[in-house]
Structure 1
Amino acid sequence: MNIKALFFDIDGTLVSFPPHTVPASTVEALEEAHRRGVGIYISTGRPMAFITNLKPIAHLIDGYITTNGAYCVVGDTVVSRHPMDPDDVATVLADAIDNHYPVVVDGERTIVVYNNSDLVDRIYVKGLGVDVLDYSLTLKDLGTEGILELSPFMTRAQEAALSPRLRHVTSGRWHPEFTDFTRQGVDKALGLREMAGFLHLDISQTMAFGDGGNDIAILSAAGIGVAMGNSADDVKAAADFVTTDVDNHGIAHALRHYKIID
């Protein structure tokens, strides 16, 4: 097995719900893999500003796929960026007003909570540990930044009603109370291919880990896709291997199974 790069989702994969620190067994496993020359990369729906819960492994991380593939970086180098169609952004934000739901708007540097409600605090802050939001920011503060991702706190029914009006959007739902919209065709699998190209790796040399609906594409695309034991059935079906839960040594178990570590 010639795996040279590992790509990890965060929520439900590296940390559990509600969020806490990365399990000790995961830290030890990633340290061993890194010592053996295997690259460690993050693959998340979170924008870079929201990656606040990985301190125990921060020194091991070689690069990031963020905002579901819309913004990928290695060190100080931006590997790729894919802003959304402004017309689709406007359509979503108008629908948010009409149907009374908030939207987290992810610019390249600035994060804005549009049409805020207590849903954002309950799910993002209390549920996911995202405590870095500045609620005073408005759309004007985005300036000329491209919008990489929208996270509307909408039901599946609301999403189904809105979708026919969106021209160039991919939806990556991994939470029952919100979804992540990116530009059409932009997902973690695209991020993986772009990162692999930048790193001069064949896709067969990559292994991806995930647990949510927005991980299905990357699990299918990677050389080896590993679903966490806490994953939904459709995520498990997309994977080559189903490991144990995040809190039951799932990462270490899979890395040992494939002999990435001893």
Structure 2
Amino acid sequence: MIKAIFFDIDGTLASFKTHQIPDSTFYTLNKLKDNGIKLFIATGRGKDGLDILQGFPFDGYITLNGQYCFTNDELIYENTIDSQDIQALLEYLKEKPFPCGFTEEHTKYFNMRNHLVDEIHAITHNDDHPARDCSQVIHKKIYQCMCFVDENEEKELLKVMPHCHASRWYPTFCDISPIGGSKQHGIDEFLKHYHIDLSQTMAFGDGGNDIPMLKHVAISVAMGNASDEVKSIADYITDDVDHDGILNACVHFQLCQKQE
């Protein structure tokens, strides 16, 4: 019996084409909630990127790929990047500059912006944050860094940030996060909080940063627009987000009925 479902946002709940959550998905979320299922967000977005949910009352939020997890009432878990790793990143940026977004609890800002950052904002509508002097981030609580590097430079970057790991869902950038936090870890924190067993869980995703989460839950669902890598590890592949993928999967697993 499924008691908890975890949803990625971009490409899963929200369409990359319309930048909105389809009506069929909101219908499904309401039906699942009526049926007593706990619903959770599991996203790379921060708190300032959740307006797209239109105030829907999820039971918990795994944000920043698991570094900041909270309910509507309390903080459940947080994990910040080690100050030594932040200092190493700042030194690296002096030698090999590239756009880098630094994420605090309520905001994000970039050391610089270029066409790569603008390209991502055109996809997510969530990365219009300003460029500014970032020298003081060493004194801030930084949960995640959005680094516009390729996979080879990502490996070099991680050599100077030993307490961090990287994940990516788009080829032009990766999210650098502290080791310990992940969507998978966020799931475990909420299962403990709500006294739910892992065998009673399901998750939906479409990107590479969703793979640990999808491997961890009892039933994993890949969206039709998911990458081949994500589809290869999923228990079920549904339709894409623009063709009622969430609704159709929940009907398939008999968690709700079709819209009348």
Query: TM-score if structure 1 supplies the norm length?
Result: 0.91
| Aligned mate of 1:128, from 111, 121, 124 | 124
* SS at 1:247 equivalent: helix
Q: 2: distance between equivalents of 1:39 and 1:190?
A: 17
Q: CA deviation at 1:170?
A: 1.6
Within-5 A mapping of 1:57-136: 58-124=55-121, 126-130=122-126, 133-136=129-132
**Structure 1 stretch displaced more, 12-21 or 32-41:** 12-21
Query: Is the contact between residue 147 and residue 173 of structure 2 (CA under 8 Å) also seen in structure 1?
Result: yes
Q: CA deviation at 1:132?
A: 5.5
Within-5 A mapping of 1:1-262: 2-55=1-54, 58-124=55-121, 126-130=122-126, 133-136=129-132, 138-140=134-136, 144-262=139-257
Deviation sequence 1:175-216 (CA, Å, 0-9, x none)? 111111111132110111111111111111111110000000
**Structure 1 stretch displaced more, 18-27 or 150-159:** 18-27
Query: Is the contact between residue 46 and residue 107 of structure 2 (CA under 8 Å) also seen in structure 1?
Result: no
Q: CA deviation at 1:62?
A: 1.9
Aligned length: 257
Shift of the 241–47 alpha-carbon distance from structure 1 to 2, 3 Å rule, reads: same
Deviation sequence 1:47-68 (CA, Å, 0-9, x none)? 111223221xx22322100000
Q: 1: distance between equivalents of 2:201 and 2:135?
A: 38
Q: Where in structure 2 are there 5+ consecutive unaligned residues?
A: none
Q: CA deviation at 1:4?
A: 1.2
Q: 2: distance between equivalents of 1:144 and 1:157?
A: 29
Q: 1: distance between equivalents of 2:49 and 2:138?
A: 20
What is the percentage of aligned positions where both structures have the same residue?
37
Shift of the 167–143 alpha-carbon distance from structure 1 to 2, 3 Å rule, reads: closer
Q: CA deviation at 1:138?
A: 4.1
Q: 1: distance between equivalents of 2:209 and 2:59?
A: 22
Q: CA deviation at 1:143?
A: 8.1
Q: 2: distance between equivalents of 1:136 and 1:86?
A: 19
Q: Which amino acid aligns with 1:129?
A: H
Q: 2: distance between equivalents of 1:95 and 1:19?
A: 37
Query: TM-score if structure 2 supplies the norm length?
Result: 0.92
Shift of the 52–135 alpha-carbon distance from structure 1 to 2, 3 Å rule, reads: farther
Q: 2: distance between equivalents of 1:53 and 1:116?
A: 23
Q: CA deviation at 1:147?
A: 0.9
**Structure 1 stretch displaced more, 31-40 or 211-220:** 31-40
Query: Is the contact between residue 255 and residue 261 of structure 1 (CA under 8 Å) also seen in structure 2?
Result: yes
Shift of the 51–94 alpha-carbon distance from structure 1 to 2, 3 Å rule, reads: farther
Q: Which amino acid aligns with 1:24?
A: D
* SS at 2:56 equivalent: helix
Q: CA deviation at 1:137?
A: 6.8
Question: What is the Cα-based RMSD across aligned positions, in Å?
Answer: 1.8
